[in-house]
Amino acid sequence: MELFNPTEEHSHLRKSVRQFVQSEVEPQAARFDKEERFNLELFKRLGELGLLGITVPESFGGSGMDATAVVIAHEELSASDPGFCLAYLAHTLLCANNIAVNGSQEQKQRWLPKLCSGEWVGAMGMSEPQAGTDVLAMTTSSSKSKDGYSISGRKMWITNGAIDENRTPCDCLLFYAKSDQHKSDSKHISTFVVERGAKGFSVGQKIEGKLGMRASNTAEMCFDNCLLPIENRLGDEGDSLIHMMRNLEIERLGLAAMSLGIARRSLDIMINYSKERQAFGKKLAQFGQIQAHIADSYAEYQAARCYVYNTARELNLTKPGSRLDSDGVKLIASPMAKRIADRAIQTLGGYGYVAEYVVERLWRDSKLLEIGGGTIEAHQKNITRDLTSSHS
């Protein structure tokens, strides 16, 4: 079996995404990063390609593909514009895939076609100002009445939370909240979906001045006695810890795939520059220090790539149980991407430090992958706990 393109469908997907990246994503990447803007129009084009619902069943407007397809799409997009790819991940994996797995038939029909087509931009709200890695410390609350739920609280660091410079909220935010009626149970968490225009739902602040991933918008989302009907709750009340954990598996795999794209592009730039640039009468590729940068980077990239694609091959999108390796691939791949981008900058010297050669942007973008979707420290904790509790 060919690990990276196991079927003809996967090969076609990689080819079509790569062509789209070369013709439409790459020409705009530097400008939108510099301007710290989300390219909404280009994002909608992903819907035309069938990418915005890549894991969503075809009956709801998606492409019905698997975790390997997810990895292919994220690797190819992030090789050009990781910030744009992060917006894609938040919409496709955190929102649309979550609804596809956990929503009722009516909810899927209500929300998924618009998310898959690109008519709507989706996001997911889990982190809060005082609750990031410690997700069970969230304080956003839901109070139930006969008419539905009243939601109060704040969500922070929400990719796609605002879709423009005017702080326009996303069309559809899937988020988690604790029940007022079960305050003593930190795991009594429910999943809700709120649509733009709901009373009491707004963007608090659009986060500016980010180190990287500037082509995706990040925002604080506010709930001030936001009223939602019961039909906007996904699954049973208080039963959403499993939603969160299951969706974190595909999110972390997607983020690891983004690391592969960053590493591959950085390696390509490093190799090409070392073949052309001369110093002391020799090409850079003839110097041992540069050879170490290139050889180590290639080996690390290929090792991480095999781990990521093998984990994708085994991951079931509808069932939990892959946390050990979804944590593992992100733990390995995210620092690897940053190291290779750093080596590329070192190889290019002053040219690597400026925007023209791309690697400075890839280096800045790579850092978020060690933090978002779970820090590398959290992965170390999870992996150790899982191994010591189950190892024989």
What's the average model confidence in pLDDT over 170-181? 94
CA dist 170 and 191 (Å) reads: 17
Mean pLDDT for the chain? 96
- Region 30-54 average pLDDT: 97
Of 36, 251, 360, 370, catalytic: 251
In degrees rounded to 5, what are phi and psi of residue 382? -60, -45
Please check whether residue 70 is in contact with residue 312, taking contact to mean a CB–CB distance below 8 angstroms: yes
Q: Provide mean pLDDT across the span 361-369.
A: 98
Residue 318 has pLDDT above 90, yes or no: no
Q: For the chain, give me the number of helices (H) and strands (E)?
A: 12, 10
Q: In the chain, what are the domains?
A: 8-121 (1.10.540.10), 123-234 (2.40.110.10), 248-390 (1.20.140.10)
pLDDT tens track for 260-308 = 999 999 999 999 999 999 999 999 999 999 999 999 999 999 999 999 9
Asked if residue 320 has pLDDT above 90, the reply is no
Is the per-residue pLDDT at 209 higher than 70?
Answer: yes
Angle at 223 between CA 219 and CA 228, to 5 degrees: 125
The pLDDT, as a whole number, for residue 322 is 84
Q: Coil, strand, or helix at residue 52?
A: coil
CB atoms closer than 10 angstroms to residue 212: 20
Find the range with the poorest average confidence among 53-67, 125-139, 256-270. Answer: 125-139
Using pLDDT thresholds of 50, 70 and 90, give the confidence band for residue 182. confident
Quick one: 169 exposed, middle or buried, by C-beta within 10 A (0-12, 13-18, 19+)?
buried
42/26 Cα distance (integer angstroms): 11
- Catalytic (active site) residue 251: yes
How much is the pLDDT for 392? Answer: 60
Confidence (pLDDT) at 391 = 64
Q: How far apart are the C-alpha atoms of 345 and 33, rounded to whole Å?
A: 18
Please give the share of the chain, as a percent, with pLDDT higher than 70.
Answer: 99
* pTM score, whole prediction: 0.96
